[in-house]
Amino acid sequence: MEEKYLQEMMTISQFSKLAGISRKLLIYYDNSGLFSPEYTATNGYRYYSYEQLHSIFVIIVLKELGLSLKEIKEYISSYSSEDEINFLRKQDEVLSKKIRQLESTQDMLRSRLKRAEIARKQETDRITISYEKEAPLFISAPLPHIKKDEIPFEMWNDFAKNCIDAGISNGYSDGYIISKESLEEKHTDKIRYLAFYVKDPAFSNAVLPAGTYLTAFCKGNFDTLSTEPVYRKMLNYIENHNLEIAGNAYEERLLDEVSVKDKDLQLLRIRLQIHYK
Averaged over 92-120, what is the pLDDT? 79
pLDDT at 42: 84
Q: How confident is the model at residue 268 (pLDDT cuts 50, 70, 90)?
A: confident
Rounded to the nearest 10 degrees, how much is the dihedral formed by the CA atoms of 74, 79, 82, 88?
A: 50
pLDDT tens-digit readout, 28-38: 999 998 999 99
Domains and CATH numbers, the chain: 2-78 (1.10.1660.10), 111-276 (3.20.80.10)
Among the residue ranges 84-88, 239-243, 249-253, the one predicted with the least confidence is 84-88
Question: What pLDDT was estimated at residue 78?
Answer: 66
pLDDT given for residue 37 in this prediction: 92
